[in-house]
A and B are shown apart, each in its own frame.
Chain A
Amino acid sequence: MTHRDDIGARYGMWLFLYTEIMLFSGLFVLYAGYYYQYTSYFIEGGKEMDLFIGTLNTAILIISSFMVATSVAAMKRGSKKTVLILLGIAILLGFVFLFNKYLEWSHKFGEGIFPGSDTLINGPHGRIIFFGLYFTLTGLHALHVTVGIIALTVCVIFTKKGAISAERVTILDNVGLYWHLVDLIWIFLFPLFYLIL
């Protein structure tokens, strides 16, 4: 039997998650600093966000996270079929999230708002900063959602092949942790951009 260290693998995963937390925290601090400097522009920029899509996407990620957490619990009980269904729903919801993001961004692009656009560059500095942060943070987050979808898909394949099973949950557990972190980051992004802090 090959060497296995489930606890070590979990520590390793958390260590990686800490680096992710620091990556996003750096940008959150940047947001806080600029919010302090350009409060009125941030409030105005926030009003241009689509609150409905933002709230919908928050709910989508929370439910998707729930599906993955439940799939881990189901796997420990050995119900493989349930795991595959739950992971399938979680992946689907991930795609819906990205599709909504696409609608949102293309709507903004249509209004001439995108990094380096004439509308932004000729406008006030605070507005450039707000939308710069918006595209950077939601873009980086969407990248994480994409990676999460790929990782969840790998879990589906591994579960089908039996590489993930009731006795070997670690991979699914760790991918779950990643997916929850992506959800966690969105929980903070949501009020920063949509609820106009």
Chain B
Amino acid sequence: MTSNENTHLQSYRELILVVIALLALTGLTVMVSRLDLGRLRVAVSLSIAAVKAGLVLLFFMHMKDSGRLIAVTFLATVLTVTILITFIFLDLPYR
């Protein structure tokens, strides 16, 4: 028994658009980091990084057509990390 699936053919155009977006976002995050945003800086940099990560996951890593199991387990991983960070920062400021 072989479960062999050759998913849809990804268009080159799609990949090119994604790489252009990723490079543009890299430029944007560098420019934004030179501005004086004060405390917002962390939020802005990490948001841009998250958008870039989303593009890589969805298009380069085919997350959007890899099925539900991979999407759910990936989100479970992200949730685990979020819990880890949340509870550490619930504790850290009150030491």
Q: Contact residues of A with B, CB < 8 Å? A: 1, 3-8, 10-11, 14-15, 18, 21-22, 25-26, 29, 32-33, 36-37, 51, 55, 58-59, 62-63, 65-66, 68-70, 72-73, 76-77, 166-167, 169, 176-177, 180-181, 183-184, 187-188, 190-191, 195-197
- Please report the C-alpha to C-alpha distance between residue A22 and residue B85 in the assembled complex, in whole angstroms: 12
Q: B58-83 vs A: 1/0 string, CB under 8 Å?
A: 01110000110110011001001100
Q: Contact residues of B with A, CB < 8 Å? A: 1-6, 9-12, 15-16, 18-19, 22-23, 26, 29-30, 33, 41-42, 45-46, 48-49, 52-53, 56-57, 59-61, 66-67, 69-70, 73-74, 77, 80-81, 84-85, 88-89, 92-93
Interface of A, helix, strand, loop or mixed by DSSP: helix
Closest-by-CB residue of B relative to A3 is B2
- Please report the C-alpha to C-alpha distance between residue A26 and residue B45 in the assembled complex, in whole angstroms: 20
Contacts A6-B5, A180-B61, A181-B61 given; 9 further ones with Cβ under 8 A? A25-B84, A62-B26, A63-B19, A69-B15, A69-B59, A70-B15, A76-B10, A190-B26, A195-B30
Structural contact, B26 and A55, CB atoms closer than 8 A: yes
Interface of B, helix, strand, loop or mixed by DSSP: helix
Structural contact, A18 and B73, CB atoms closer than 8 A: yes
> Chain A residues with Cβ under 8 A from B22's Cβ?
62, 66
> Could you tell me the distance in whole angstroms from the C-beta of B22 to the nearest C-beta in chain A?
5
